[in-house]
């Protein structure tokens, strides 16, 4: 009898772990995780170092090799390479490993896999990644910092995800969409065919809730290119009534938006970060994330778009979650942000103190 019970328990463990979900550094299923791939810094980080955080942690956990297919990002994405023909998957990117950059469609990168019950969605910032054949982190993406958010969810959320991908004009370069998924979630047909919103559309951004397998609520935001605005300031900051510090790509010849301050929103560009004792400027970071200023509304968002004028007319999205421990490590990692006016760099804490004084008068 004991042998039978042990066999049954072992079967349950194997069955649970066989479901498609986000995987931690040991390859075990988790509700969600965040990975911050650190930039290549002289004498300290080699371009493959990263830090990891999930729903069960209170602090960063260090990782040495983002190229490892057995842990975290690698273990999660590798599930696609061993998935079945009747499972759904999609890989999309405006700069994929197969073709050249697409400057017209959505500036967005992501990976998703579902069976008939559960799956995951990863939003990331890495160009030319991942391969549709096997897991390998590109050496071309080692120099700069990169971000990943993975969320495990029930298959029913594919309806919301499909709508999100359609709004942002995602560019699939690898997909498998069996009829049972296309019948249940017909918008997936538009996504796979790269069909955007109809000409009759009048609403060019959307926000919807998503729940993880364990019931944690997140908010997804998606904007179409016709919205012609900054998703961070014009949507997320305004809709939530929060001040944001945003890390995004501000290098190159593009015209940056710079810190934006209005009566209804305030969005600061991050100048410098400090993660696990390593300081680095925003110029060394290709990540796209935002953190709110107040612990009264501890929001962290991960998305697609840079705060540059050229991206106002590009589709893109973001996924935001309220989680105090995650918020604290991101909030405390912001060293400097660009202030509302002038060229002096103020610390995030100094700006928060100034805001407190202003609104206390």
d(Cα 160, Cα 114) in Å, to the nearest integer?
14
pLDDT reading at 149 higher than 60: yes
Split at pLDDT 50, 70, 90, the class of 17 is low
Please give the residue range of the domain that contains residue 180: 20-198+205-360
Does residue 98 surpass a pLDDT of 60?
Answer: yes
- Judge whether 15 lies within some domain: no
- Residue with structure tokens 């919807």? 208
How far, rounded to the nearest angstrom, does the alpha carbon of residue 17 sit from its chain's CA centroid? 23
User: Is residue 6's pLDDT more than 50?
Assistant: no
Tell whether 12 is covered by a domain.
no
Band (pLDDT 50/70/90 cuts) for residue 202 is very high
Predicted pLDDT of residue 351: 54
Helices (H), 308-360: 324-331, 348-360
Structural domain includes residue 6: no
CA distance 150 to 125: 12
For residue 7, being part of any structural domain is answered with: no
Residue 183 phi/psi, 5-degree rounding, is: -70, -45
Main-chain dihedrals φ then ψ at residue 196, nearest 5 degrees: -85, -165
Number of domains in the chain: 1
pLDDT at 4: 41
Give the pairing type, strands 32-37 and 29-30. Answer: unpaired
Q: 41-89, pLDDT tens digit by residue?
A: 998 999 999 999 999 999 999 999 999 999 999 999 999 999 999 999 9
Question: What torsion do the CA atoms of 303, 307, 309, 311 make, to the nearest 10 degrees?
Answer: -10
Kindly state whether residue 153 falls inside one of the protein's structural domains.
yes
CB 80, CB 114: distance < 8 Å: no
- Does 352 score more than 90 pLDDT? no
CA nearest to 333, candidates 243, 285, 272, 292:
272
**Which position has the token pair 């209170």?**
58
**Can you give the length of the chain in residues?**
361
Identify whether 48 is part of a domain: yes
Q: Is the pLDDT of residue 14 over 50?
A: no
Structure-block tokens of residue 123: 């939003």
pLDDT exceeds 60 at position 91: yes
- In tens, the pLDDT along 151-178 reads 999 999 999 999 999 999 999 999 999 9
72 in Cβ contact with 48 (< 8 Å): no
Among 286, 323, 331, 345, the one annotated catalytic = 286
* pLDDT of the residue at 254: 84
Tens digits of per-residue pLDDT, 263-295? 999 999 999 999 999 999 999 999 999 999 999
Sequence-separated (6 or more) residues with CB below 8 Å from residue 187: 159, 162, 163, 166
Mean predicted lDDT score pLDDT of the chain: 91
CB 304 within 8 A of CB 235: no
Residue 244 has pLDDT above 70, yes or no: yes
Q: Note the Cα 41 to chain centre separation in Å.
A: 23
Q: Which pLDDT score is estimated for 361? A: 44
Residue 5 lies in a domain: no
93, 114, 231, 265 from 239: Cα distances, Å? 27, 30, 10, 9
Residue 9, pLDDT score: 36
Q: Would you tell me how many other CB atoms lie within 10 Å of the CB of residue 154?
A: 14
- Determine the Cα–Cα distance for residues 32 and 24; give it in Å rounded to an integer: 9
Backbone angles phi, psi at 318, to 5 degrees: -160, 155
Residue 323 is among the residues annotated as catalytic for this protein: no
Pairing of strands 299-303, 316-322: antiparallel
Residue 288 resides in a domain = yes
């Amino acid at each position: 009898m004991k042998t039978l019970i042990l066999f049954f328990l072992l079967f349950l463990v194997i069955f649970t772990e066989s479901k498609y979900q986000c995987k931690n550094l040991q390859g075990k299923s988790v509700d969600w995780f965040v990975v911050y791939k650190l930039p290549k810094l002289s004498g300290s980080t080699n371009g493959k170092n990263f830090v990891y955080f999930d729903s069960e942690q209170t602090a960063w956990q260090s990782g040495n090799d983002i190229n490892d297919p057995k842990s975290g990002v690698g273990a999660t994405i590798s599930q696609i390479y061993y998935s079945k023909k009747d499972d759904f998957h999609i890989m999309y990117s405006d700069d994929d490993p197969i073709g050249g950059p697409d400057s017209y469609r959505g500036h967005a990168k992501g990976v998703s896999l579902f069976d008939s019950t559960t799956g995951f969605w990863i939003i990331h910032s890495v160009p030319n990644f991942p391969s549709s054949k096997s897991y390998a982190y590109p050496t071309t993406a080692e120099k700069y910092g990169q971000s990943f958010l993975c969320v495990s969810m029930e298959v029913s959320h594919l309806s919301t995800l499909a709508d999100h991908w359609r709004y942002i004009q995602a560019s699939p370069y690898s997909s498998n969409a069996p009829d049972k998924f296309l019948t249940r979630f017909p918008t997936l047909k538009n996504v796979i065919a790269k069909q955007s919103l109809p000409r009759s559309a009048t609403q060019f951004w959307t926000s919807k809730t998503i729940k993880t397998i364990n019931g944690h609520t997140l908010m997804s935001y998606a904007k179409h290119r016709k919205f012609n605005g900054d998703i961070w300031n014009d949507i997320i900051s305004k809709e939530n009534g929060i001040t944001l510090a945003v890390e995004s790509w501000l290098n190159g010849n593009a015209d940056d938006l710079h810190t934006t301050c209005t009566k209804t929103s305030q969005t600061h560009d991050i100048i410098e970060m400090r993660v696990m004792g390593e300081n680095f400027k925003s110029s060394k970071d290709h990540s796209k994330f935002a953190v709110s200023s107040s612990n009264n509304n501890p929001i962290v968002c991960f998305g697609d778009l840079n705060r540059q004028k050229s991206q106002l007319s590009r589709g893109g999205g973001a996924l935001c979650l309220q989680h105090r421990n995650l918020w604290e490590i991101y909030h405390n990692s912001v060293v400097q942000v660009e202030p509302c006016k002038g060229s002096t760099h103020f610390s995030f804490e100094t700006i928060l103190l100034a805001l407190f004084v202003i609104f206390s008068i």
